[in-house]
């Protein structure tokens, strides 16, 4: 099993959010008499959510350091940090703590690019990573997860908008008053976890936006088992 921790860093007076996603492998046995090979599928389990507010950034770093003191996370965990805007100094502090964070700058374009160990990732790509997992039924959360309902409220407020001139698609909350910190933290984890997953077979392009939207609403309405 692998673990992915996504961190969305807000201003001092805003929420910062931390999400822990577990990537679990499920082996489906094959029927060799029928020529069906063994198939490995992965599921993504949202194990933990938390929000931090009114704490200096060194305290946020301390909280992340405490999490990665756990031997399981220390051995099998990957840390993803939003370094857009004010996130870069926190990223540097995490590097000084030898936590080997991967920095993600959230952009408004379409293409993913990489510089060193860090990435530039369009917001639409981050959100799409979660939509793909929802579409395939691979994303789950415990019903009693703390902040789970808040996360789903944020998910429900997201909508995609198409630029009629360029055809580019972007995801955003319906109003500026709606927080998106939990969604961003989760999608940082699911984006990297799914793109680094050797067993992922479902890949959807921009033509499959309707399917991803249906997956989101099915999930929020409790129709995905």
Q: CB pairs under 8 A, 24+ apart, for 55-59?
A: 55/16, 56/12, 57/9, 57/12, 57/89, 57/90, 57/93, 58/93
List of residues 6+ apart from 68 with CB closer than 8 A: 5, 74, 77, 79, 99
pLDDT at 103 over 70: yes
- CA atoms of 46 and 4, how far apart (whole Å): 10
pLDDT at 12 over 80: no
Average pLDDT estimate for 120-137? 87
Average pLDDT estimate for 112-126? 91
Query: What pLDDT does residue 48 have?
Result: 96
pLDDT at 222 over 70: no
Do residues 181 and 12 make contact, with C-beta atoms less than 8 angstroms apart?
no
Query: What pLDDT does residue 37 have?
Result: 54
Q: For the chain, percent helix, then strand, then coil, each to nearest 5?
A: 35, 30, 35
Alpha-helix runs per DSSP H in the chain = 57-67, 71-76, 87-96, 123-135, 148-157, 181-195, 209-220
Query: What pLDDT does residue 74 have?
Result: 92
pLDDT tier for residue 34 given thresholds of 50, 70 and 90: low
pLDDT at 220 over 50: no
Give me 115's structure tokens: 């510089």
Q: Which CATH class is domain 2-220?
A: alpha beta
List of residues 6+ apart from 108 with CB closer than 8 A: 122, 123, 170
Q: Where in the chain are the domains?
A: 2-220
Average pLDDT estimate for 204-215? 44
């Amino acid at each position: 099993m692998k673990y992915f921790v996504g961190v969305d860093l807000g201003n001092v007076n805003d929420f910062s959010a931390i999400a822990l996603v577990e990537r679990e492998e499920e082996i489906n046995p094959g029927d060799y008499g029928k020529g069906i090979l063994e198939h490995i599928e992965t599921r993504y389990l949202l194990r933990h959510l938390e929000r931090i507010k009114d704490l200096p950034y060194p305290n946020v770093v301390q909280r992340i350091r405490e999490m990665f003191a756990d031997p399981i996370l220390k051995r099998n965990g990957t840390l993803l940090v939003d370094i857009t805007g004010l996130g870069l100094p926190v990223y540097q502090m995490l590097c000084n703590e030898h936590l080997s964070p991967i920095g993600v700058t959230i952009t408004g374009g379409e293409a993913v690019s990489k510089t060193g160990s860090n990435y530039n990732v369009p917001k639409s790509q981050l959100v799409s990573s979660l939509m793909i997992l929802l579409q395939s039924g691979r994303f789950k959360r415990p019903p009693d997860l703390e902040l789970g309902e808040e996360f789903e409220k944020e998910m429900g407020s997201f909508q995609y908008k198409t630029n009629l001139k360029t055809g580019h698609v972007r995801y955003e909350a319906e109003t500026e008053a709606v927080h998106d910190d939990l969604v961003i933290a989760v999608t940082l984890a699911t984006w990297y976890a799914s793109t680094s997953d050797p067993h992922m077979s479902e890949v959807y392009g921009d033509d499959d936006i309707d399917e991803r939207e249906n997956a989101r609403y099915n999930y929020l309405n409790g129709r995905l088992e």
